[in-house]
Structure 1
Amino acid sequence: MNIKNNPDRRAARVIGLAYSTCCYLAFLFTCLYLIGFVGSVVVPKNINDGPLVAWPTAVLIDGVLIILFGVQHSLMARKGFKRWLAAFIPAPAERSTYVLLSSLVLGVMFWLWQPIPDTFWEVETVWAKALLAGLFWLGWSIVLLATFLISHFELFGLKQAIDRWRNTPQQAPIFRTPLLYKLVRHPLYLGFLIAFWATPHMTVGHLVFALGMSVYLFIGARFEERDLVVLFGERYRRYQSEVGMVVPRLNRPRR
């Protein structure tokens, strides 16, 4: 392991690794809570829990919470913001900070979310309920798999801190399309969409959440794709022409 003998630099790397580890653990807890929040399982407050207020007020509050998440999530992912943030924190900690703040914003959403328990749809047939429950868990499984198909620990900031601790140079991004990425460009978003919509009991509050987050996912995907075109150029443009964004294409162009 190539760690220089300078105690200050070694201490900075250890602190950076500890910070990124804490950010990653915060993300894990928040992600697990999100599953319970949307699926109304285990967690102390889910999407249909809480004191009731007039539905226009609830829609307004919930809409602001979704917008807050979308603005934070997209703004911090832009290159200009990353350059600004680099003046205050080391570059290897940038992704961890992004993950931490995203987790905090989601925590605020869980805390302040206003339920609207009126039923939009409800499925009572046993097989249909089982099918929708299965789709819910399939969606989250796709989300998890999609993160590992690229680089799970790099996506959530831990790899950068480990590389800094080991004094390993950061590698340039490599364009790859493993497994699910051959079917859709954003399997992560596809998994979220399935998980947000697959429920046997869709309340109005859940519908507001699913609609709002779906709109954000498509907007966020457009911003992300713009950055990917800048990063990978013609290769990514060709990928866009061949593979659907979140829905597989039935008639893919021949190479």
Structure 2
Amino acid sequence: MTLSDPRIARLITLVIAALRPPAGRRRIALALFMGVLCHAVFAVGVLAMMWAMFFGMSESFGSVPWPWAFVANALLILQFPLVHSFLLTKRGMGLLARMLPGPHGGTLSTTTYAIIASVQLGALFLLWTPSGIIWYRAEGLAFWAICAAYAATWLLLMKASFDAGAEVQSGALGWMSLLGKIKPKFPDMPTQGLFRIIRQPIYVAFALTLWAVPVWTPDQLVLALSYTAYCLLAPRLKEKRFEKRYGDAFDRYRRDVPYVMPRLKNGAGKSEEGHNA
């Protein structure tokens, strides 16, 4: 990876524009406020997820009495994929652009989206009501081996997010574009890095984090099954959007690159895999 890499060049251009913002105190103040809010909430959401799953969802702040806790936890599971997917639709993106009053709502839509997603994740993992049942807790060498696997899945998720466009995934595109007074420029269809191996590395990496945990409870199993299903099904909707946006380019990419399972070998099975994906 070099400075000529389009992903690096795009980030450098965005950072340079943000470091020298044109005059406009209110615009600058709004951009910086949204940036701080976005990344603070993002950090809380991600850290809450890492912490809660590390303990198999047995450690959280939810205290809804049973059996109502089952309903509350189910709603927490459902709210993320439903809202997350809706906001990616044409209607949802229009709503995002109108959430902030004034002329900058459209520019800040990716930042607003990241804030909402982070609040959703924080709610899921901080407000979960644990069942109190622990099936398995790794110890000794097994504990350290699983911890290493857990860390590896998170590194994989970070790599996939960078390959897809770190500025979009983190919400930085919106507020940095507003700060630099430039039009947000979305990255092209991702085809480099992990996207050369499978079409949906972010969803696969996210699913892997659900299973590489040192503590297993009924709570973790329900979460893992639910969100693994989401990670397998939701990208189909994303790919329909890509079909409309990129046309033949995406069709060629889809023929050449499998959906979520890497190919073990090239050659005769390539064409067949591409058509089945």
Structure 1 length-normalised TM: 0.83
Q: Is the 8 A contact 1:39 1:199 kept in 2?
A: yes
Q: Note if contact 1:38-1:47 (Cα within 8 Å) is conserved in structure 2.
A: yes
1:245 pairs, out of 234, 247, 259, with 259
Alignment of 1:1-255 (within 5 A): 5=23, 7=24, 10-40=25-55, 47-49=57-59, 54=66, 57-89=68-100, 90-120=105-135, 126-171=140-185, 173-251=187-265, 253=270
Q: CA deviation at 1:120?
A: 4.6
Contact 1:62 1:208 in 2 (8 A): no
Relative distance call for 1:227 and 1:242 in structure 2 (3 A) is same
Which digits, 9 at most, give the CA deviation of each residue in 1:174-213, with x for residues without a partner?
Answer: 1232221111112111211111111243211110111111
Query: Which residue number in structure 2 is paired with residue 43 of structure 1?
Result: none
For the Cα contact (< 8 Å) 2:160–2:202, is it kept in 1? yes
Separation (CA, whole Å) in 1 of partners of 2:171 and 2:110: 5
* Change in CA separation of 1:49 and 1:84 when aligned onto 2, cut-off 3 Å: closer
Deviation of 1:52 after TM superposition, in Å, equals 8.5
Q: CA deviation at 1:151?
A: 2.0
C-alpha distance in 1 between matches for 2:81 and 2:117: 10
Amino acid at match of 1:25: A
* C-alpha separation in 1, matches of 2:92 and 2:177: 23
Does structure 2 conserve the Cα–Cα contact (< 8 Å) formed by 1:21 and 1:158? no
Counterpart of 2:107 in 1: which secondary structure? helix
What letter matches 1:228 in structure 2? F
Alpha-carbon RMSD across the aligned residues, in angstroms, is: 2.6
Q: 1:222 to 1:95 in 2, by over 3 A?
A: same
Q: Quick one: percent identity of the two aligned structures?
A: 23
CA drift at 1:227: 1.2
* Stretch deviating more after TM superposition (21-30 or 11-20): 11-20
Quick one: structure 1 residues 14 and 250, their matched pair in 2 at CA, closer, same or farther if it must change by over 3 Å?
same
CA distance in 2, matches of 1:241, 1:59: 42
Contact 2:153 2:209 (8 Å CA) reproduced: yes
Decide whether the 8 Å contact of 1:117 with 1:205 is kept in 2.
Answer: no
What TM-score do you get using the length of structure 2 for normalisation?
A: 0.77
Structure 2 CA distance for aligned equivalents of residues 164 and 195 of structure 1: 34
User: Is the 8 Å Cα contact of residues 53 and 213 (structure 2) preserved in structure 1?
Assistant: no
Structure 2, unmatched stretches of 5+, are 1-16
Give distance in 1, aligned partners of 2:69 and 2:33: 39
**For the Cα contact (< 8 Å) 2:131–2:219, is it kept in 1?**
yes
State the match for 2:3 in structure 1. Answer: none
Instruction: Supply the distance in 2 between the matched residues of 1:177 and 1:168 (Cα, whole angstroms).
Output: 25
Unaligned runs of 5+ in 1: 41-45
| 1:50-73 Cα shifts (integer Å, max 9, x gaps) | 66854x644433222110111111
